[in-house]
Amino acid sequence: MNEFRARKNVLIIAEGFEEKLYIDKLLSFPKINKKVYHFADTVNVKGNGNIPARYQYELQRGYYDVILVFCDADRGRKQFVNLVETIGENFFADKSNGIKVFIFANPVTLQIVLSHFGTVALKNVAKKINAKTVEKMTGIKNYRASQAQIEEMVNKIHSNSVDKFKQNLQKISRDFNEIPSTNFLTFLERFESDDTSWIDDINSLRKK
């Protein structure tokens, strides 16, 4: 019980099924540091338009030490920028700090998922265009991001792929303005570490 109370409570709000199923799989891996983190059940808000309201609701509950958002950067389009700024304006002293709670993938989360299977640099958000790459790397044909297909892909990912996965992500920019890009590796390294100071750093930037 004392060990549980000492852990940092973390909630991840996922944009959709792909993000939820994938992050749940990653959090089940042995290297995730469950001694210092307690991950609540990932919330699937079924669309990025629902993120701000759910973020506010969970923040007001006051149960979690940090609430993160996992979503597509959608090629850095205005919709994503507006979402980051909404979180920043409402919950941080400086709106530019909203990005600190976002786990993003540009153009799409598929960029992260496919990096378990090899080196990939997606440029497009269109499922039809990316379907050929999905089939080549995973064997899944006619990928449309259905829940069944996402589950099939995630089930092909195993913990022994993580080291190679990290090497592949090292080759990708962490600047969401670039395509492809993702900061997933930053958060994965945090989740594997004993150092939870990043949570305190985020909270120090919040509105008082």
Can you give the residue ranges of every domain in the chain?
Answer: 2-203
Q: What is the DSSP string of 128-183?
A: HHHHHHHHHHH---S----HHHHHHHHHT--GGGHHHHHHHHHTSB--TTSSSEE-
Q: In the chain, what percentage of residues exceed pLDDT 90?
A: 92
Could you please report the per-residue DSSP string of 39-63? EPPPEE-SSGGGHHHHHHHHHHHT-
User: Is the pLDDT score of 184 beyond 50?
Assistant: yes
Q: Place 1 in a pLDDT band, splitting at 50, 70 and 90.
A: very low
Give residue-wise pLDDT tens across range 18-61: 999 999 999 999 999 999 999 999 999 999 999 999 999 999 99
pLDDT at 2: 47
pTM (2 d.p.): 0.95
* pLDDT per residue as tens digits for the range 111-161: 999 999 999 999 999 999 999 999 999 999 999 999 999 999 999 999 999
d(CA 21, CA 16): 9
**Residue scoring higher pLDDT (126 or 6):** 126
